[in-house]
Amino acid sequence: MAVFVNGVIFDGVDTAAADAWRLDAYVARGGYQALRKILDSKLPQEDVIAEVKNSGLRGRGGAGFPTGLKWSFMPRSFPGDKYVVCNTDEGEPGTFKDRDILRFNPHALIEGMIIAGYAMGTKAGYNYIHGEVFAEYQRFEEALEEARKAGFLGQHILGTDFSFELYAHHGYGAYICGEETALLESLEGKKGQPRFKPPFPASFGLYGKPTTINNTESFASVPFIIRDGAQKFLEAGKPNNGGTKLFSVSGHVNRPGNYEIPLGTPFSTLLEMAGGMRDGKKLKAVIPGGSSAPILPAEIMMSCTMDYDSISKAGSMLGSGAVIVMNEDVCMIKALERLAYFYHEESCGQCTPCREGTGWLYRVIHRIANGEGRPGDLELLDSVGNNMAGRTICALADAAVFPVRSFTKHFRHEFEYAIEHGKTLVDHKWC
């Protein structure tokens, strides 16, 4: 189910119409005007980048890094090959927005990447698509073909000197391949394992060449910014949090789905849009930014607005915008056990603290969930987590630790109860 309100990316997209994703429909919605504008006016590369900077667009892949700034790191005068790469690996539990971009509006992404290619002087780009969304991958390939045929993509785009090739690549469903350098390794045909940074992709990326990696949603926001102007995008959100953002709402709500709303919208509004709590149950907690983001209890969450700054002030992260809503029937130990299992499975295994620590965390939490917790286990979890976070090559270890820290902080009594009584306080209801 997808609902879009006041969209930037989904502006005018009729998700019920079978052909809304096609080139014609996109062009009818004003698609590829941004690209024409750039090419017609021979807009200097710096100006494109400046526009993206001014829009306040922050990376939608999780870290929220300003996109325009990232683009400015690319050595524009570098003479050799350079690449732009789109990250559609979307493996984070709770996140399902990029899939809908490919499904309903793939040309927004294609146009965004072409503009990025123009701005950074690259001749080729790749879109790395999560291996388990194969139908969307196929649709994207079709959309690419449409764009090529129409002259938006390939050699001498729209008859100009500007050429840009874009290719789709599907992965095999490993979460770690969403980490940008693991993605590059995988794209090169190697095992998907993060690289140590520095060097950063902007100097040593795909095939060792300067590369910029952005999330699908980040790229897909660019055509609007160029067409309608940075100011308009910025105004759609709030200062330092420009634009609208896709939120993948899941969990105990009546209407789970993707919602594109202005940054700064109160969480309560988003919850209402999603139909409110299912079965009239009470809201217990929310993970506001995907499974790696710290969980927030209902009271805190209800006072937040949905933007980078507000969520961060509340002690969590906006992350990828995956909003996981939990009602009062959720046993927090069970919920955490599930998350811990995920990271234990998905660690790439190269760093000692992550390889060994994710399994350790999971086993201790599993024990507690099964009434076999021991005194000292919470301190143990805390200490193991401290030995992991910030000690590894990529942020997966941190992502595995954040939930543990936040669950045991906000719902400590549930853990203490289980350890003391050999059973959980909340009788978890699976639904």
Partner 1 sequence: MLEIEIDGKKLTVPQGSTVMDAAHSVGTYIPHFCYHKKLSIAANCRMCLVEVEKAPKPLPACATPVTDGMKVHTHSDMAKKAQAGVMEFLLINHPLDCPICDQGGECQLQDLAVGYGNSASRYQEEKRVVVGKDMGPLVSAEEMSRCIHCTRCVRFTEEIGGFQEIGMANRSEFSEILPFLGKTVDSEISGNVIDLCPVGALTSKPFRYSTRAWELSRRKSVSPHDGLGANLIVQVKGNQVMRVLPLENEDINECWIADRDRFSYEGLNSAERLQKPMIKHDGKWHEADWQTALEYVVKGLNGVSRDHGKDAIGVLASPHSTTEELFMVQKLARSFGVNNVDYRLRRSDFRADAAQQGALWLGSSIVELASAKSVLVVGSTQRQEQPLLASRLRQAVKKGSELNVIHVADDALLTKLNAKLIVSPQALVNALAQVLKAVVAIKSGESAIDLAAVTVSADAQRIADSLCGAETASVVLGNVAQHHPAFSELLSLAQEIARLSGARFGVLAEAANSVGAELVGAVPTRGVFGAAVSAGLNAQQMIAEPRKAYVLLNTEVEFDSYNPQAAVAAMKSAETVIALTAFKAEGLLDYADVLLPIAPFSETAGSFVNMEGRLQTFNGVVRPQGEARPAWKVLRVLGNMLGLSGFEYTSVEEVRAEWQGKGEIAPSLNNVLASVSANVQPAASALVRVGEVPLYQADAICRRASSLQATRAAAVPVAHAAQSVLDAAGVQSGAVVVLKQGEGQVRVALEADAALPAGVVRLATAHPTTIVLGGMFDPIEIKQG
Ligand X SMILES: Cc1cc2nc3c(=O)[nH]c(=O)nc-3n(C[C@H](O)[C@H](O)[C@H](O)COP(=O)(O)O)c2cc1C
Instruction: List contacts with ligand X (CB under 6 A).
Output: 59-63, 65, 67, 70, 87, 89-92, 176, 178-180, 213-215, 218, 394-396, 399
CA 92 to chain centre: 8
Token readout for 28 is: 């009818």
Instruction: Name which of 389 and 399 has its Cβ closer to ligand X.
Output: 399
CA distances from 111 to 3, 33, 151, 227 (A): 23, 9, 12, 11
Please, what is the minimum distance in Å from the beta carbon of residue 68 to ligand X? 11
The item of ligand X, partner 1, ligand SF4, none sharing an interface with residue 62, based on CB under 5 to 8 Å by kind, is ligand X
Structural contact between residues 50 and 68, judged by C-beta atoms closer than 8 angstroms? yes
Q: Is 387 in the site for ligand SF4 (CB under 6 A)?
A: no
Chosen residue from 317, 354, 381, 426 binding ligand SF4 by CB under 6 A: 354
When binding is defined by CB under 6 A, the residue of 268, 312, 350, 386 that contacts ligand SF4 is 350
Out of 74, 393, 418, 426, name the contact with partner 1 by CB under 8 A. 393
CB of residue 354 to partner 1, shortest distance in Å: 8
Partners of residue 212 on adjacent β-strands: 84
Shortest separation between residue 191's beta carbon and partner 1, angstroms: 7
Task: Identify the residue among 148, 169, 281, 391 touching partner 1 (CB under 8 A).
Answer: 391
Residue 65 contacts which entry, ligand X, ligand SF4, partner 1, none (Cβ below 5-8 A, type-dependent): ligand X
Binding mask of the shown chain, residues 309 to 328, with x at each position contacting ligand SF4 by CB under 6 A:
--------------------
Nearer to partner 1, 182 or 325 (CB): 182
By CB under 8 A, is residue 112 in contact with partner 1? no
- The phi and psi torsions of 408 (rounded to 5 degrees) equal -75, -20
User: Among partner 1, ligand X, ligand SF4, none, what binds residue 165 when CB lies within 5 to 8 Å by partner kind?
Assistant: none
Site membership for ligand SF4, residue 181 (CB under 6 A) = no
Which stretch, 113-121, 236-244, 317-325, 347-355, contacts partner 1 (CB under 8 A)?
A: 347-355
Q: Decide which of ligand SF4, partner 1, ligand X, none touches 258; Cβ closer than 5 to 8 Å per partner kind.
A: none
Interface with ligand SF4 includes 347 (CB under 6 A)?
yes
Please say which residue, 55 or 193, places its beta carbon nearer to ligand SF4. Answer: 193
Residues 6+ apart with CB under 8 A from 33: 223, 227
Distance CA 158, CA 277 (A): 50
Using the contact rule CB under 6 A, the part of the chain among 39-47, 68-76, 387-395, 415-423 near ligand SF4 is 387-395
Shortest approach of partner 1 to residue 69 CB, angstroms? Answer: 21
Strands 296-297 and 283-287: antiparallel
From 29, 130, 245, 344, residue interacting with partner 1 (rule: CB under 8 A): 344
352 binds, among partner 1, ligand SF4, ligand X, none (CB under 5 to 8 A by kind): partner 1
228 binds, among partner 1, ligand SF4, ligand X, none (CB under 5 to 8 A by kind): none
Alpha carbon of residue 52 to chain centroid: 19
Q: Could you tell me if 87 and 130 are in contact, meaning their C-beta atoms sit under 8 angstroms apart?
A: no
Angle between helices 396-410 and 352-369 (to 10 degrees): 30
Q: Are 179 and 191 in contact (CB under 8 A)?
A: no
Q: Min. distance of Cβ 193 from ligand SF4 in angstroms?
A: 6
Q: Rounded to the nearest whole angstrom, what is the least distance from the CB of residue 254 to ligand X in the complex?
A: 27
**From the CB of 200, what's the least distance to partner 1, in Å?**
12
CB of 114 to partner 1, least distance (A): 34
Is residue 337 a contact partner of residue 322, using CB atoms and an 8 Å limit?
no
Least distance in angstroms from the C-beta of 73 to ligand SF4? 22
Site string for ligand SF4, 388-407 (x = CB under 6 A): ----xxx-xx----------
Q: Which residues here bind partner 1, judged by CB under 8 A? A: 174, 176, 191, 196, 198, 344-353, 355-360, 363, 374, 380, 386-387, 390-393
